[in-house]
Amino acid sequence: MTALVGVVVFPGSNCEMDCVESVGLLGGEGRLLWHGDDDVSGVDAVIVPGGFAHGDYLRPGAIARFSPVMSAVARFAADGGPVVGICNGFQVLTEAGLLPGALQKNSGLKFLCQPSTIRVSSENSSLTSRASVGDELSIPINHFEGNYTCDSETLAKLRGEDMIVLRYVDNPNGSVDDIAGVCNEGRNVVGLMPHPERACNEILGSSDGGVLLGSLLDLAA
């Protein structure tokens, strides 16, 4: 059965069609979920995509988390449904309390759109089941606020419970412990700053993102 992946659209989101395209390329089917609808029923997985939800005004994700769709996403996640937040979506999930920590401005105080190499730190998450610990993936980053931050107890817990899913090989933004992606305790909710949907086609420079989104589809199918 084709996995049906819901892709949330807030006003200001901009990576939603890219996610739909890449999910389709990997054999799944993407369906847009409007932020004003309190309903995600029927989908097998949810992606909260990149962009600038509500203009990133106040703080990235701060306004988006109050959208009706986020209540539905929270219920879906609580029932064990796989949820992935990419870039701005990661920011939304931390603001919504579905993932620990927060994302600050890059340490270089510049927006960065460039290739990045990330290393798989845990294969036990909804996004990394097809990968092996230590795999290096070439997946681009595209953000101003991707500097992952948390307090020391949270960091100890993330390490102790294998919740750090992906790390940068060359930390581009100052993230603590080179963190590029984390999961929740249930391991079904994952957030990451790099854009796997931009790395699903060799002609665009890399297809390594297929390992991550493919894992999500395995879980969903």
Partner 1 sequence: MKFKVQVDVSLRSGIADPAGATIERALPALGYEGVSGVSVGKTIRFTIEASDQEEAEAHAEDLCASFLINPVIEDATVTVEAGNGDL
Partner 2 sequence: MSQPLHRALGLTDDEAGRIEEILERPANPLELAMYSVMWSEHCSYKSSRIHLKRLPTEAPWVLVGPGENAGVVDVGDGIAAAIRIESHNHPSAIEPYQGAATGVGGILRDIFTMGARPIALMDPLRFGPLDDPRSRWIAEGVVAGVSGYGNAVGVPTVGGEVVFDETYRGNPLVNVLCLGLLPTERLVLGQASGIGNLAVLLGSSTGRDGIGGVSVLASAGFSDADDGDKRPSVQVGDPFEEKRLIEACLQLLDEGLVVGIQDLGGAGLTCATSETASRGGVGMDVDVSAVPRREPEMEPHEVMTSESQERMLAIVEPEGMERVLAICERWEVRAAVIGRVTEGGSLRILDGFDGEVLADVPAASLDDEAPLYDRPREEPLHPLGPSADDLEPPVDPGEDLLGLLTDPSWVYSQYDHQLFLNTVVGPGDDATVLRLKHPTTGHDTGRGLALTTDGNHRWCAVDPRRGTALVVAEAVLNLACVGARPLAVVNCLNFGNPEHPEVMWQLSEAVDGMSEACTAFGTPVIGGNVSLYNESAGSDIAPTPVIGLLGLVDRLVSRPPGAHLVEGNRLLLLGPAEIGLGGSLWGASRGAPGGEMPSVDTAMHTSVSDLVRELVLDGMVEGVHDLSAGGLGVALAEMATRSGVGVHVARVAGHRELFGEGPSRVVVSVDPEVLTEVMDRVEAAAVPASRIGMAIGDRMIVKDLMDLSLVEVSAAFTSRLPEALGSGTTNRQPDGR
**Which residues form the catalytic set?**
87, 195, 197
Confirm or reject binding of residue 151 to partner 1 (CB under 8 A). yes
Confirm or reject binding of residue 203 to partner 1 (CB under 8 A). no
Q: Give the torsion sign (CA, 174, 214, 156, 79).
A: positive
Q: Which is nearer to partner 2, 21 or 123 (CB)?
A: 21
CB atoms within 10 A of CB 135: 16
Site string for partner 2, 117-156 (x = CB under 8 A): -----------------------x-x-x------------
Confirm or reject binding of residue 195 to partner 2 (CB under 8 A). yes
Confirm or reject binding of residue 41 to partner 2 (CB under 8 A). no
Q: CA torsion 200→187→3→141, rounded to 10°?
A: -20
Q: Pick one of 102, 166, 189, 199: the residue that binds partner 1 (CB under 8 A).
A: 102
Q: How far is the CB of 36 from partner 2 (least distance, A)?
A: 8
- How many chain residues bind partner 2 (CB under 8 A)? 40
Confirm or reject binding of residue 101 to partner 1 (CB under 8 A). yes
Residue 14 interaction partner, one of partner 2, partner 1, none, beta carbon < 5-8 Å per kind: partner 2
Pairwise CA distance, residues 132 & 129, whole Å = 8
Q: How far is the CB of 66 from partner 1 (least distance, A)?
A: 8
**Chain contacts with partner 1 (rule: CB under 8 A):** 58-59, 62, 66, 94-95, 101-102, 104-109, 147, 149-151, 174
